[in-house]
Structure 1
Amino acid sequence: MKANMESVKSAADGGNADQQLNCYGIAIPNTCDSHNGPHSVACLTTIWESKGCLSEGTKAPDKLNTAEKEALDLLNLDDVEIGFETTRIEADGGDKDKGLECYGLVYPDKCDSYDGPHTVGCLTTIWEEVGCKIEGLRYPGVLTSADVDALKILSLRYF
C-alpha cells in the first residue's frame, strides 16, 4: 500500500494532473514546480489572477518584497490559494486596504466593491471625482434606471 501511495505522489510531483488531484486535492498550475514551496513569481501570479486579483494590486506577486515572497515560499499551494482568495473576498467585502492590495486602487467614497453592483452614491462620487458637474446630462442622478443599471455592473477600473 505504501508503494502505491508513493507512486501516486511521485506521479503528482512529476506533473500528472489526475494524480495531483488524488494526492493534493488540486491540480498544480503549469507555472508551478510543486505543491510545496518555493514558488516562482509566475506560479504565484497564476494563482493570484485565478483568484480574481489584478497585476495592478499592491500585493501582486511581482510586487512583493523579499520577506513577503519568502513567507509565501513556506506555504503549500493550498495555503497560497486560500490567502489570495481571502484577500479578494475581503476586498469585495469593502475593505479598502484589501482593495488596494488586490485591485491596485482605493475605492472611492460610497463604493464598497470593485465589480459592483455599485450604488448611485458610488457612481455620483466617481462623477464628481472626475470633475463633472451635476448639471451634466450623464449625471447618475438624472439617468434612466436602465442607464444607471448598466453603470452599476461595471468594474471600478472601467471608470
Structure 2
Amino acid sequence: MRKLSISALIVAVAAGALAFGPAQAAERGGSGPSSEFERICAPHPDRAAHEAKFAEILAARLKLTDAQKAAFKDFQDARTKAVETATTRLCASKPDLSTFEGRLGIHQSFLEDRLEAVKSENPKLIAFYNSLDAGQKAKFDKFRENMARRKGR
C-alpha cells in the first residue's frame, strides 16, 4: 500500500510539474515548452556531486550504519540509472512542441518514463527505509517533508 501511495504521489507531482512547466519556464525567462524540454535534456555535470553531498548529509543526520549506507547507495544507483534511461529516451529526438498534440505526446512520454523509473526505484527505497529504526524513520520522514516544502510541493 505504501509503495502504491508513493508511486501515486510521484506521478501526481510529475503531472503537476508538466502542467505548469510552460508557465514556470516563461516566468524564468524561457520560451515555454521548448525551453523546459531543453532544460530536461541539458547535461547536468554537477548532479553526481550534488547527490553525493545529499547522501553525506542524510547519513550524518540519520547516523546510518554501514549496511544502511549500502542500502541507500543501492537506491541512489537505481535512481541514477532510471533517470539516465528516461532522459536518454525522452531526449532521443526533439518533438514538435509547437502543436498541442506534440506537447501532449512529450508529457505522456515523460510520465511513462517516470512511472518506469518509480517502478525500478521503489523497491530499493523501500528496502532502505525498512532498514531504518523507528527514530531514523521519523527523522527521514521529517527530512523529506522539509525538502518537499522547500521545493514548493
Shorter-chain TM-score range? 0.3 to 0.5
TM-score by length of 1: 0.31
Rg comparison, structure with higher value:
1
As a proportion of its length, which structure holds more helix? 2
